[in-house]
Structure 1
Amino acid sequence: MSDAEQLKEFLREMNMTPEDACEMDMFSEYCFDGLSYQLRYLLCTLYGITFLLAFIGNSIIIYIIAFNRRMRTITNILVASLAVADMLIACLCIPFAVAEIISYNWIFGTIGCKLASSLTAFAMAASILTLICIAGDRYQVICHPHQDRKIKTSCHALGYLAIVWIFATLLTVPLFIFSDIKKISGLLEHTFCRETWSQFYNKTYTICFTLILYIIPFLLLFVLYSKVVGQLWQLKETFSGGNSGGISSVPPSNVRKKKRAIKVLILIVLVFIFSWLPFHVHSFLRFMSKSKINDKSLFFNFTVKLIGFTSTFVNPILYGLMNTNLKRYIMVGINCRKIKKQSAPSTKEELMMLPPEI
């Protein structure tokens, strides 16, 4: 008989329930009360704000691109895919996390556990892999405008995205198989959704997951956008017929657009680094330390997820709302006016005038 079972027997003889003993701080080492009400309230509030901002921002992006044929450019289709992935995180992952914070128990059963774990990783993977597609497309268009574009049509873009989403699905199959309900033994029983595989498989999967969805994407984003930034500074003014080189020959409006484009690219890399770094560091520390579930580990687990989920409302701002055409449609919708038809800019104009389709 375990110590916890012996204590339960003792409490029965004393006509006390485990809840009474824990409320009186008796045998506190055998009690697991979860997070304090203050921390739970704070986390739920922050998760709620994240959900609201992500839902609104991504809904706007999806609506504008889906219901305006002129907005269905190759880049915007990639941005819409990113918005869908971020919407999945907001609508599927955040509610599961909030429910676990409130009850500090897993209440959705074994199937719910498998679905929650796999869908969270699936949405993460789809979002991050789409970021790479956008970076690769912008790199080719801006740095190699005279080469044949890899993604030439909307159908090509949808084909690439299908590969991304299929790969994201395959990457999360192990989580669906091995996720299960884990109980914490003590005076009070609590259940959590965790992976049940061995330490070796946990370590292997964590390393592969981090490599595929953090280290490699970071290196690709850094290299591709570094080359794009370098190319932006080298662009010369061609519209006015000026032949002099250097940034000084470009009109102030173009200089401002270049600076804004470069700032956006830097922010894209920084947001990716700082939003997902805590999550992956925590994953490594969790399997290296073999720590048990307790108040501190729960708090860090929910916090690093929250930091990662913030990217779901920052991405629409960086990739969508800073797009001149998208902003124009949003303002038209707010002012309830009809948008005037304008000719779409040519590829050379896109490159030189640098609309935020970067």
Structure 2
Amino acid sequence: MADLVQGLFICLMAVQSIQHDGHRTRTKTNISTGVIPKTFKGRMYKPNHASQSPTMLYPSTKPWLYVNQEDPVTAYTTGVISTWVIPWSYILAMLVGIPSNAYILAFLRVRLRAKSMSTVVLYLNLALSDLLLLLSLALRVHYHFNENNWIFGEISCRLITALFYGNVYCSAQTIACISLKRYLAVVRPFLYRRMTKTTLAVGTCLVVWLLFAAAIVPELLVRQSYEVTQLGVTTCHDVLPLEEKSHSLLVLYRLMLVCVGFIVPFLICFYAHVVVVYHLGQSGCDWRPFIRVSTLVFIIFVVCFLPSGILHIAHYIRLFSSGDDRLYGYYRLAVCLCCFHSCLDPFLCLLISKTAVSELQFISLREIPQRPAIRT
């Protein structure tokens, strides 16, 4: 009987070894042909193979990921970009952005009865989104200073990841709504005067937050933290398994977020800015102060958001075509610029609102010759 049990145990060990080797072979094949998420790639290893799909909210096991020492994730995890540049950038953005956005929220709240209430509502929405984004950076600062080792658990990793990316998209979409409002006020004044501006602004903010909810829910349903055995750390969102269906199915969702969250707002802002500047330049009034400030705001938006959007798309293309994930580290660095935009928004808001030359205030444009007065 003892010999029989020993023989069965040896057979089970052999079968498990064969399955593990075959699993690694399939993973290597799928790197170039399979559907790949946006983060660094890692191969799945679990001590218990009974359950191959990650548990949704309270996983019973702690999965491991295997990466090669030559993979870009090793240089990123131990390099100066992720352990020094990114966390100090987050700290600077938090020190400037949290108090300034809190001040803007208090400043705009007392102006809710102003005639330009629709503009106040949009800027309140932008300040709230920026503040939530900056507050979500606190745990990520500790994560990067701790050599990219997440110690706060899986649930907090999912929440921080969802809040971070969701509010980045929310900020960009709100800025696009403000640009579109300015476009209607200048280029389509008769249509703009007939609109119920406050109701439309509130409805627009609700739509933006619905998109925000749609953006974060999938991130909350999949595991975000994995232990990387070769590096001796537990990463949060930075390394995800390629072979898991729950992660590979998110590719189309994330590509859609890039378009809705970055590309569409950028195109709206670009078109609105060019057309508004052209129409103001054709008028008989001196709008140069407003044009200069508006151009500065647009340039800052482009510098802060465009690099991350381009690197995001380029990273997807390289992953899908060749399995190369080296651009992810640069993408994470470019995302820091989005955080700087969140801390600059309050100052840009005050700068535009105080552009009173030619009796001009932000989106409360005075009469243009041969046109009715434009009010918000």
Q: Same fold (TM over 0.5)?
A: yes
Q: Percent identity?
A: 20
Structure 1 CA distance, aligned partners of 2:106 and 2:164? 23
Pick from 221, 225, 243: which aligns with 2:273? 225
Superposed CA offset, 1:292-324 (max 9, x none): 6xxx77753542221221111222222333312
Checking the alignment, whether the CA contact within 8 Å between 2:225 and 2:235 is kept in structure 1 is yes
| 1:315 is the counterpart of 2:345 | yes
Q: What is the CA distance between 1:349 and its match in structure 2?
A: 2.8
**2:141 & 2:175 partners in 1: Cα distance?**
27
Amino acid at match of 1:271: I
For 1:61, the equivalent position in structure 2 comes to: 104
Counterpart position of 1:52: 95
- Aligned residues of 1:136 and 1:224 also touching (Cα < 8 A): yes
Q: What is the CA deviation profile of residues 236-287 of structure 1, one whole-angstrom value per residue up to 9, with x for unaligned ones?
A: 3xxxxxxxxxxxxx4xxxx2xx222222332333222221233233333444
Q: Deviations over 1:71-122 (max 9, x none)?
A: 5621122112111111111111x21321211111112211112111211122
* Structure 2 residue corresponding to 1:210, chosen from 244, 254, 258: 258
Tell me, what secondary structure is at the counterpart of 1:349?
Answer: coil
The residue that corresponds to 1:260 in the other structure is 289
Structure 2: gaps (5+ residues): 1-16, 21-67, 370-374
TM-score, length-scaled by structure 2: 0.66
Match of 1:40 among 83, 87, 98: 83
Compared CA separation, residues 69 and 351, structure 1 to 2 (3 A)? farther
Tell whether the 8 Å contact from 2:132 to 2:167 is kept in structure 1 after alignment.
yes
Q: Distance in 1 between matches of 2:81 and 2:281?
A: 50
Residue 349 (structure 1) aligned with residue 362 (structure 2):
no
Alpha carbons 1:137, 1:151 under 8 Å: kept: no
Q: Partner of 2:149: helix, strand, or coil?
A: coil
The equivalent of 2:226 in structure 1 is 182
Matched residue, 1:241: none
The letter for the 1-side match of 2:186 is I
CA–CA distance in structure 2, aligned partners of residues 158 and 213 of structure 1 = 19
- RMSD value over aligned CA atoms? 3.6
Is 1:115 equivalent to 2:165 in the alignment?
Answer: no
Describe the SS at the equivalent of 2:366. Answer: helix
Residue type of the alignment partner of 1:208: M
Aligned residues: 291
> Any idea what SS the aligned residue of 1:108 has?
coil
Number of the residue aligned with 2:141: 98
Report the 3-state secondary structure (helix = DSSP H, G, I; strand = E; otherwise coil) of the residue aligned with 1:183: strand
Where does the alignment leave 5 or more consecutive residues of structure 1 unmatched? 3-26, 237-249, 327-343
In the superposition, the TM-score normalised over structure 1's length comes to 0.69
Q: How does 1:1-358 map to 2 (within 5 A)?
A: 34-35=77-78, 40-71=83-114, 73-92=117-136, 94-103=137-146, 104-149=148-193, 152-186=196-230, 188-194=232-238, 198=245, 200-236=248-284, 250=285, 255=286, 258-287=287-316, 288-289=318-319, 290-291=323-324, 299-324=329-354, 349=366
| 29-38 vs 46-55, which moves further | 29-38
Q: Matches of 1:81 and 1:47 in 2, distance apart?
A: 22
Is residue 140–residue 149 contact of structure 1 (8 Å, CA) maintained in 2?
no
Paired residue type of 1:122: G
After superposition, the C-alpha distances for 1:19-76 in whole angstroms (9 at most, x for unaligned) are xxxxxxxx98799594357973443332211111111321222111112445562112
Partner of residue 331, structure 1: none
Asked if the contact 1:53–1:313 (Cα under 8 Å) also holds between the matched residues in 2, the reply is yes
